[in-house]
């Protein structure tokens, strides 16, 4: 009964803080109709992935048509409406929303021939299409994204009345609708293009992995590896959330999925409820930084930066590992400070048994990474991995999927993609306004003027901008917004494009644990029963690595593996790890012993010195760290 209550609580929290999870629960004929639409959607995506995608605008229009139809059928206009019976208004809106992209498919040839010119009918369809995308965004993604979209639409018309650098000639409604809805620069731009190809297949792959029980395998394996250590359950949360992050697309969903097990364990061990919720929130948010998926933003970044997808994955590996090292150290020092022991080994699952019984479930993940490194396209690698996940599950009777579960996987994949799909479509509206008005470069110039054109101040203000823009916005849309608005400032300073995009991506993601809008922290506090604000503050302290690492890889490109010299990469990683140890121990107040106030200040200085590459600063940072460590060890021994 208690387990059932815990699961109910987790689902309530998920629906409260993750709009994507609060869907209709149909029964009877309506459930079959929605399932049929979702399965047809997945079959279309698989067909085009196998036999070749359609022309860009056609592929994206069909993708959007399925997506908005399902969005209106699964997410009611008002939360107070029945969750089992379809309201006539939602049915009408689903038909209207799907009709707008269907018009592009129907009139594709004529639209191509009169490119740049819109008829009255085109204009009306475009208006309907834009408004239905925005309303779908409100239902599926949430109000913060809608506010950002409307702000950009208002700016498109208010250009002549804007002050200084923000002023522009202004757009007519016809110009705006034509650009946003009938070109590949707006709604049907790069984000929706990536959603309609790579992202859908990877989310479908994730749906099948979830069906095989991979999540429980990760948690059991993490328990076996780390559950016995000091502060074991907290380390289990870090490890399992990092593993789940390889395929998960949502910080909040990750918090609820693993936190419903790890947070009660942490509280039982002795961690304060505000700290327990913070550990899971910080770990789950870090999952969005973990390759190969990175909350689906990796695929968008590859398109925006113009490099192969595998280069993004390679660049993200060391920063992600450093983040989790910093988080692991934080929970370790907290456990040592409070003398929190782990779970007895006799109460934990044995690693050998887990690997023997369910180790085969991880094989598709290993294969997909191998295929990507071997030069396979992401689409081809995802297709192979989808088939392999079904085949691998059949290797043992306990994990084997029944035929109905294989079909159900197609439905779940289509449902799971809706949040990303709608976010990408609405992000396209923002990109359309930016490209038509040039506001991205104008904001970048204003930011550089404000910081005096100096590197570190410019990075600091860009960090603040990315955090604010990322608050309450899902990962993919988050990255689109920050890369469009904040990244150009770094590019104007001469920072290479990959480093600039990774910089704003990190700070957009860390907004999930940065008060006041820290959705992952709020979800963690909901499970732990703690205070949401204090949980957010603790999560920000634990996630200190994410605030520091972007400065490190901008100043030291070796951390993105952009240096051809392995020795340079090794030195950069070692100094970064020592810096993480210094900062984590300073914030927690424990290294080898309880830290005095002056020792914490010295450790902070030590960590900051190792941000900037260079022999002098690195040696100074290591020396300061060594002095504090030596004094604490001598004091503890005495």
Q: What is the pLDDT of residue 20?
A: 64
Can you tell me whether residue 306 is helix, strand or coil? coil
**Cβ atoms within 10 Å, residue 307:** 16
344: left (phi over 0), alpha (psi -120 to 50) or beta: beta
**Cβ atoms within 10 Å, residue 515:** 17
Q: Are 65 and 101 in contact (CB under 8 A)?
A: yes
**Cβ atoms within 10 Å, residue 158:** 14
Grouped pLDDT means (10 residues each) for the chain, 638 residues = 53 64 84 95 95 92 97 91 89 96 94 84 96 95 89 92 85 93 92 90 86 82 83 80 70 76 81 87 84 78 88 89 87 84 81 88 87 84 91 87 91 91 92 88 81 86 85 80 87 90 88 79 85 87 83 87 81 87 88 90 90 83 93 87
Can you tell me whether residue 502 is helix, strand or coil? helix
**Could you tell me the pTM of the whole model?**
0.85
Tell me phi and psi for residue 383, to 5 degrees. -60, -45
- What are the DSSP E strand ranges found in 379-457? none
State the Cα–Cα distance between residues 220 and 257, nearest whole angstrom. Answer: 13
Q: What is the pLDDT of residue 4?
A: 46
pLDDT digits (tens, 9 = 90+) for 400-422: 888 999 999 999 999 989 988 99
Using the 8-state DSSP alphabet, how is residue 83 labeled? Answer: S
Can you tell me whether residue 341 is helix, strand or coil? coil
Token pair, residue 138, equals 């409100």
Task: Note the maximum CA span of the chain.
Answer: 85
Q: What is the pLDDT of residue 95?
A: 97
């Amino acid at each position: 009964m208690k387990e059932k209550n815990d699961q109910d609580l987790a689902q309530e929290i998920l629906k409260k803080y993750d709009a994507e999870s609060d869907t209709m629960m149909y029964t009877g004929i309506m459930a079959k109709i929605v399932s049929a639409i979702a399965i047809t959607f997945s079959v279309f995506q698989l067909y085009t992935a196998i036999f070749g995608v359609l022309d860009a605008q056609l592929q994206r229009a069909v993708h959007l048509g399925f997506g908005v139809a399902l969005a209106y059928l699964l997410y009611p206009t008002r939360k107070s409406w029945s969750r089992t019976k379809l309201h006539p208004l939602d049915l009408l809106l689903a038909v209207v929303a799907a009709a707008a992209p269907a018009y592009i498919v129907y009139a594709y040839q004529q639209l191509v021939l009169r490119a740049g010119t819109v008829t009255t009918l085109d204009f009306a369809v475009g208006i309907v299409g834009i408004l239905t995308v925005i309303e779908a965004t409100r239902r599926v993604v949430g109000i913060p994204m809608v506010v950002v979209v409307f702000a950009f639409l208002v700016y498109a018309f208010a250009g002549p009345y804007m002050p200084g650098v923000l002023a522009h000639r202004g757009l007519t409604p016809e110009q705006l609708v034509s650009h946003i809805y009938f070109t590949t620069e707006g709604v049907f731009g790069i984000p929706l293009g990536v959603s309609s190809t790579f992202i859908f297949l990877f989310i479908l792959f994730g749906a099948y992995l979830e069906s095989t029980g991979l999540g429980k395998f990760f948690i059991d394996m993490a328990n076996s590896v780390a559950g016995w250590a000091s502060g074991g359950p907290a380390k289990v949360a870090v490890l399992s959330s990092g593993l789940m992050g390889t395929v998960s697309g949502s910080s909040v969903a990750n918090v609820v999925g693993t936190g419903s097990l790890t947070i009660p364990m942490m509280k039982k061990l002795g961690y304060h409820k505000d700290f327990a919720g913070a550990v899971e929130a910080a770990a789950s948010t870090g999952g969005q930084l973990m390759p190969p998926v990175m909350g689906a933003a990796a695929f968008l970044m590859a398109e925006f930066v113009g490099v192969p997808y595998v280069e993004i994955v390679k660049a993200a590996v060391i920063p992600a590992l450093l983040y989790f090292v910093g988080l692991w150290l934080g929970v370790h020092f907290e456990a040592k400070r409070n003398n929190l022991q782990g779970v007895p080994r006799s109460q934990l699952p044995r690693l050998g048994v887990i690997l023997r019984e369910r180790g085969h479930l991880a094989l598709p993940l290993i294969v997909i990474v191998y295929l990507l490194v071997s030069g396979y396209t992401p689409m081809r690698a995802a297709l192979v991995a989808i088939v392999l996940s079904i085949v691998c599950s059949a290797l043992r009777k306990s994990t084997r999927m029944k035929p109905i579960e294989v079909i159900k996987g197609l439905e779940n994949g289509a449902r799971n993609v809706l949040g990303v799909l709608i976010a990408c479509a609405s992000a396209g509206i923002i990109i359309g306004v930016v490209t038509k008005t040039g506001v991205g470069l104008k904001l970048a110039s204003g930011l550089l003027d404000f910081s005096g054109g100096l590197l570190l101040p410019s990075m600091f203000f860009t960090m603040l901008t990315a955090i604010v823009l990322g608050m309450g916005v899902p990962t993919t849309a988050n990255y689109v917004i920050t890369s469009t608005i904040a990244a150009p400032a770094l590019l104007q300073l001469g920072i290479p494009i990959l480093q600039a995009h990774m910089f704003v991506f990190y700070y957009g993601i860390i907004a999930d644990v940065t008060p006041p809008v820290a959705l992952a922290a709020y979800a963690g506090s909901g499970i732990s029963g703690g205070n949401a604000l204090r949980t957010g503050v603790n999560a920000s302290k634990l996630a200190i690595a994410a605030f520091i690492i972007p400065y490190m890889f901008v100043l030291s490109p070796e951390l993105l593996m952009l240096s051809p010299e392995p020795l340079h990469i090794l030195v950069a990683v070692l100094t970064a790890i020592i810096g993480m140890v210094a900062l984590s121990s300073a914030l927690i107040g424990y290294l080898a012993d309880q830290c005095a106030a002056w020792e914490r200040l010295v450790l902070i200085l030590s960590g900051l010195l190792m941000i900037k590459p260079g022999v002098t600063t690195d040696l100074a940072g290591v020396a300061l760290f060594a002095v504090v460590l030596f004094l604490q060890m001598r004091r503890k021994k005495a």
